Structure 1
Amino acid sequence: MPTYYVKLLKKQKIANDTMAFHWEKPEGFEFIAGQYCKVTLVDPHKTDDQGNERAFSLVHAPYEKDVETATRMSDSAFKQVLKNMPEGTEVKFGEPHGDFTLHQDEAKPAVFIIGGIGITPVRSMIAQATHDQLPHKMILLYSNNTPADAPFMDDLRGYADENPHFTFVPVMTEAKSGEWNGESGLIDAEMLKRHVSDVNVPIYYLSGPPDMVQDMRQMLVDSGVHEDYIKTEEFSGY
């Protein structure tokens, strides 16, 4: 399997306890929107029993010029090395993998039910579909505690403005009165049916914390959705 050495171009805080990292795209690095790759630190100055490698979804779409990853930060040695990494530092990227990618059948809508940092592969899919002017109807229900916890909100609003086939539904579970006037509370069958006219037609994409993914899968099954129409990606151990 090929290994790519890539340089850090820049890093930035994009939400509460959340950072994005922009990497130089290596020659020959090809992927499908929604895929992930393993990132390995090279001779880090600190390590722990969780090791020097993590899998990250690729946030940027294939058409974009650099490669972006994003993560919730933690006290792990890996995340602390990443947080303090100087621009120009090299890490190793593995070959992209994964089938959490947009389906081919243009007649079937895509409904994304996403929690928090689980947005990373979905931002890539929606960006690429918008760039390619795909006819897929796409609806994103994107759950976060508060607006300050939600990465890529501006990007997603921009795609909704640009793409007539994409509907963006941000959902806040803990927003204080007066700071949010959109959908609030936990995503449930009632909320889904407000935005999806026939819940049995779409392909569903679930991504986020494992408990949320499992709850949303059960909610869909209870609503009559066939399990073959549900794709999942769990984000654990941020």
Structure 2
Amino acid sequence: MASYDITLKRTEPVADGTLALFFDKPDGFTFRAGQCVRLVLQDPPETDDEGNGRILSLASAPAESELMVATRLRDTAFKRVLSGLRPGTELTLKGPYGDFMLPAEGDVPVVFITGGIGITPVRSMVLQALDEGDNRAITLFYANRRLGDAAFLHELQQACAGRSNYELVTILTQDPGWQGEKGRLDEAMLRRHVANLTAPLYYLDGPPGLVSAMKSVLVGAGVPDDRVRTEEFAGY
């Protein structure tokens, strides 16, 4: 797989405990929305048994001028070094990898079900679909504990506003003042927003527990297994 030297342009907090890192696209690098890369630290001051690199989904869309990844910050050697990087730091990018992508055919409705940092590849796919004028029906269920945990929420709300074929359903599980959908996403909640549960393609990603639970809900609702795509975001 191809390897590229990249230089950090800037970092931005995008939610509580979540950091986005921005890079210029290296010459010759192309990817499809939903794919991931391996980001490797060069000569970091500390490391661990997992080494100096991690697989991260590209949160940026191919149509955007910069590359962007985002990650929850945890107390690991990789995350400690990553959170302290300064603009101008050189890293190595390998990839792209993965097939968690929208099908080329645009006539099948799509339902995304994601939570937490699982929003990163979904942001890429939704913004790319909007840029390309994709007319398929897209419903995005985005679950978090609190509003402050929801990376890119405001941006996605603005992007989807006024588009009849896009619906963003924000779910908060631990925010008493929230007026939207609350609690766990179940079949009843799905049916409030998706008229025919067996028609769409489903893309599930996020924490392993969420992915497993939602796949069980879909199977119980009669959704065929071949209409469900999954990608898990465990801690790293």
Q: TM-score, normalized by length of structure 2? A: 0.98
- Cα distance between partner residues in 1 of 2:7 and 2:136: 35
Residue 104 of structure 2 aligns to which amino acid in structure 1?
Q
Residues of 1 paired with 2:34 and 2:213: CA distance? 22
C-alpha contact 1:130 1:163 (8 A) present in aligned 2: no
C-alpha separation in 1, matches of 2:69 and 2:107: 31
Q: CA distance change for structure 1 residues 212 and 16 in 2, over 3 Å: closer, same or farther?
A: same
Offset at 1:50?
2.3
Alignment-derived partner of residue 230 in structure 1: 228
Aligned identity (percent) is 43
- Secondary structure of 2:192's aligned partner: helix
1:25-174 to 2 correspondence within 5 Å?
25-161=25-161, 163-174=163-174
- Where structure 1 has 5 or more consecutive residues not aligned to the other structure, the ranges are none
Which residue identity lines up with residue 41 of structure 2 in the other structure?
A: L
Q: Distance in 1 between matches of 2:155 and 2:127?
A: 9
In the alignment, the residues of structure 2 paired with residue 105 and residue 200 of structure 1 have an alpha-carbon distance, to the nearest angstrom, of: 18
Aligned residue identity for 1:97: Y
User: Does residue 1:193 correspond to 2:188, yes or no?
Assistant: no
Deviations 1:18-74 (A, max 9, x none): 111111110111000000011111000111122111000000100100000000001
AA of the residue aligned to 2:217: M
4+ residue runs over 3 A deviation: none
> Who is 1:207 aligned against?
205
Q: Deviations over 1:157-212 (max 9, x none)?
A: 01211533211000000002x3x111000100000000000000000000000011
* C-alpha separation in 2, matches of 1:112 and 1:223: 16
Q: Which amino acid aligns with 1:207?
A: D
Q: Distance in 2 between matches of 1:140 and 1:153?
A: 11
For residues 149 and 184 of structure 1, the distance between their equivalents in structure 2, rounded to whole angstroms, comes to 15
Aligned residue-pair number? 236
Give the match's secondary structure for 1:94: strand
**Alpha-carbon distance between aligned partners in 2 of 1:73 and 1:164, rounded to the nearest angstrom:** 35
**CA separation in 1, counterparts of 2:158 and 2:91?**
31
Give the drift of 1:12.
Answer: 1.2
Normalising by structure 1, what TM-score? 0.97
1-structure distance, mates of 2:77, 2:164: 43
2:184 is aligned with what amino acid? L
CA RMSD of aligned residues (A): 0.9
Q: Secondary structure at the match of 2:59?
A: coil
Give the match's secondary structure for 2:120. helix
Q: Which residue number corresponds to residue 181 of structure 1?
A: 179
Specify the code of the residue in structure 1 equivalent to 2:220: D
SS at match of 1:54: strand
What is the letter of the counterpart of residue 100 of structure 2?
F
Q: Provide structure 2 residue ranges, at least 5 long, that are not aligned to the other structure.
A: none
Matched residue type, 1:205: Y
2: CA distance, partners of 1:162 / 1:13: 27
